[in-house]
Structure 1
């Protein structure tokens, strides 16, 4: 009988702990999932907080790129097309880094990047938060800002869209 009581207490504690970790999608929760870091906006002026750039309405794809990266240069048109054709199913945020901010506008102009939200992380804080070892890289966030999938190197943007649709 004592073992049964102990087992039931243990199950109750585990269930209670799980209940505390399951979120309701509140803004505070979302801000905790997405780092509260400000990045330079490439289109427009000033900075934007990453939590504001990601969408609570849809999943968000964070695409990490560097202006000098040959693979990023090859992927940039695909990212533009993906951002244009998501049909509201996916927000696309392109985060540049591993270079000087001064080189980013030319990269964006060369590839006609207008549809994704374009940010630059010269301090590499967001790259470090998401543990992006190199470029390109991509992280798919759910509506609550939690990481659901990641790709390193070149990836199929259609896979990212299908993964987002499944969330």
Structure 2
């Protein structure tokens, strides 16, 4: 019933270094689900180290080759998509 935020970002993205702390705060509030997709951000181990180093606890899918991002027709990072009532809104 709650909206889900899908957050596309990258460890290499300078703007994401500003937006990711806010996403982490939202995830910690636990008001609604957040799933992040790390686009072309290296191996699982490198991504895990990055998340730990920055204290990020949001759910993250490693999109090593950008295939998920391409499937969702992503253009820029960060990108935000809200899923609610079987509808998708991109911001």
Query: What's the TM-score once normalised by structure 1's chain length?
Result: 0.49
Q: Note the C-alpha offset of 1:60.
A: 0.9
Match of 1:73 in 2: 17
* Aligned residues of 2:82 and 2:90 also touching (Cα < 8 A): yes
RMSD: 1.7
Moved over 3 A (4+): none
Q: Deviations 1:57-86 (Å, cap 9, x if unpaired)?
A: 421111011111111111111011011224
Determine which of 21, 28, 35 is the counterpart of 1:93: 35
> Does the CA-based 8 Å contact 1:62-1:140 persist in structure 2?
yes
SS for the counterpart of 1:107 is helix
Partner of 2:69: 127
Which among 75, 82, 85 is matched to residue 140 of structure 1? 82
Deviation at 1:108, TM superposition (A): 0.9
CA distance in 1, matches of 2:33, 2:72: 17
Larger radius of gyration: 1
Q: Which has the higher helix share?
A: 1
1:107: which partner in 2? 50
Provide the rounded CA distance (Å) in 2 between the counterparts of 1:82 and 1:97: 20
Partners of 1:142 and 1:106 lie apart in 2 by: 32
CA distance in 2 between counterparts of 1:68 and 1:92 reads: 20
Conserved in 2, the CA contact under 8 Å of 1:76 and 1:111? no
> Of Structure 1 and Structure 2, which has the larger fraction of its residues in strand?
2
TM-score by length of 2: 0.83
Per-residue displacement from partner, 1:136-164 (whole Å, max 9, x unpaired)? 111111143x31x212xxxxxxxxxxxxx
**Per the alignment, do residues 119 and 97 of structure 1 end up closer, same or farther by CA in structure 2, a change over 3 Å counting?**
same
